[in-house]
């Protein structure tokens, strides 16, 4: 019973933007798009309330949560009318011996990737971390967000590179990779490809409406007027939609910060076409990138 389609990404990489686009595409063109509409078209797979309901319990420990992921995803697959779009920031891994993403229930996934150099500043603001703290989290193979008593159960991110590779280097189900930068530079072409991957009929007028309705300026203005439920309480700026730029790392990161990201994630960055400003400092990057390409080609 494969019915689930995942919208996956590392945090602050464009997952919410993609959800807005898909939600706006599905609505009537004569209706004003509201940012909260995304919650009606896309489901979070990590809501603690859903786990408690499926388990019929008032509280759960983390091993119990991990063991319930199949039942939760199966419940969603059986009770929600397609298309079933599930948001997640989880890496596609196992935890406590249980797969976080159940392949037997999954039709496919859209994976949104963003230059990790740009992720740093946005992630730091969202989580209320320093730049050093955000880089440390992105380089931590045991990093997770959420918790057993939080609104969202634990989501296991691992390092930024591991997150990307767990979603893109398997053949369990089809995965369509979208670069945030391409969505920014060529939204019509990039979003059209996503719709084709989903098997949705592409209506040019709906596509244009979706892109206009979910423009960054529109989303930012709506948040300023009435707030946004997904804004982190830890956010330093107090905003979810901050600038939406690409290449902003040139203004926010020091050479030392850049080197910390590139030395850890350079091969995956290079594979996905991200410029490596410190590439000359590590001659092993090209070899490792070549190995990544071979692994993906051989799947």
pLDDT tens track for 114-159: 999 999 998 998 889 999 999 999 999 999 999 989 999 999 999 9
Question: How many CB atoms are located within 10 Å of the residue 161 CB?
Answer: 21
Answer whether residue 130 is part of any domain: yes
pLDDT at 245: 75
Instruction: Please tell me which residue, 296 or 274, carries the higher pLDDT value.
Output: 274
CB 276 within 8 A of CB 285: yes
Residue 29 has pLDDT above 80, yes or no: no
For residue 265, tell me if it sits in a domain: no
Q: What is the pLDDT of residue 277?
A: 85
* Residue 286 confidence class, pLDDT cut points 50, 70, 90: very low
pLDDT for 195-244, tens place per residue? 999 999 999 999 999 998 888 777 777 777 775 655 555 655 555 555 66
Measured CA to CA, the distance from residue 104 to residue 198 in angstroms comes to: 18
Gyration radius of the chain's alpha carbons: 19
- Listed in sequence order, the residues at least 6 apart from 121 whose beta carbon sits closer than 8 Å to its beta carbon are 131, 134, 248, 249, 252, 253
- Give the 3-state secondary structure of residue 153: coil
Give CA–CA dist 228/161, Å, rounded. 29
| Residues spanned by the domain of 76 | 4-243
- Residue 94 has a pLDDT of 95
pLDDT mean across residues, the chain: 87
At residue 202, the 3 state secondary structure works out as: coil
Residues 153, 257 contacting (CB under 8 angstroms): no
Burial class (CB in 10 A: 0-12, 13-18, 19+), 252: middle
Which pLDDT score, from 0 to 100, does residue 125 have? 86
User: Is residue 15 very low, low, confident or very high in pLDDT (cuts 50, 70, 90)?
Assistant: very high
The verdict on residue 97 lying in a domain is: yes
Q: CATH number, domain at 235?
A: 3.40.50.300
pLDDT at 228: 62
Q: What are phi and psi of 141, to 5 degrees?
A: -70, -10
Domain count, the chain: 1
* Residue 270 belongs to some domain of the structure: no
Can you name the residues that pair with 118 across neighbouring β-strands?
none
Pairing of strands 98-99, 94-95: antiparallel
Residue 280, pLDDT score: 41
**Given this model, what pLDDT does residue 283 score?**
45
Give this prediction's pTM: 0.88
End-to-end Cα distance, the chain: 24
In a domain, 280, yes or no: no
Residue 283 lies in a domain: no
In a domain, 231, yes or no: yes
In a domain, 293, yes or no: no
pLDDT of res. 284: 47
The pLDDT score that the predictor gives to residue 182 is: 97
């Amino acid at each position: 019973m494969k019915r689930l389609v995942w919208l996956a990404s590392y945090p602050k990489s464009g997952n919410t933007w993609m959800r807005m686009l898909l939600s706006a595409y599905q609505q009537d063109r004569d209706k004003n798009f509201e940012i909260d509409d995304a919650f009606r078209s896309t489901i979070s797979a990590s809501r603690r309330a859903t786990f408690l309901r499926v388990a019929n319990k008032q509280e759960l420990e983390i091993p119990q949560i991990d063991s319930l992921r199949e039942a939760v995803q199966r419940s969603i697959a059986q009770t929600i009318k397609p298309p079933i779009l599930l948001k997640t920031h989880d890496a596609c891994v196992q935890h406590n011996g249980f797969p976080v993403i159940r392949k037997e229930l999954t039709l496919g996934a859209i994976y949104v990737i963003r230059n990790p150099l740009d992720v740093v500043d946005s992630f730091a603001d969202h989580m209320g971390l320093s730049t050093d703290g955000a880089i440390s989290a992105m380089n931590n193979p045991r990093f997770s967000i959420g918790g057993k008593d939080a609104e969202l159960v634990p989501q296991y991110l691992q390092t930024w590179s591991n997150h990307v590779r767990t979603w893109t280097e398997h053949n369990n189900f089809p995965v369509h990779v979208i670069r945030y930068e391409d969505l920014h530079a060529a939204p019509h072409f990039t979003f059209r490809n996503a719709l084709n991957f989903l098997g949705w009929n592409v209506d040019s007028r709906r596509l244009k409406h979706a892109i206009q309705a979910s423009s960054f300026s529109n989303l930012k203005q709506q948040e300023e007027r009435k707030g946004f439920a997904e804004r982190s309480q830890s956010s330093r700026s107090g905003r979810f939609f901050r600038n939406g730029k690409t290449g902003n790392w040139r203004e926010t990161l020091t050479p030392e910060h850049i080197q910390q990201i590139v030395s850890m994630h350079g091969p995956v960055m290079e594979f996905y076409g991200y410029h490596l400003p410190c590439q000359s400092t590590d001659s092993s990057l090209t070899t490792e990138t070549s190995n990544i390409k071979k692994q993906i080609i051989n799947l």
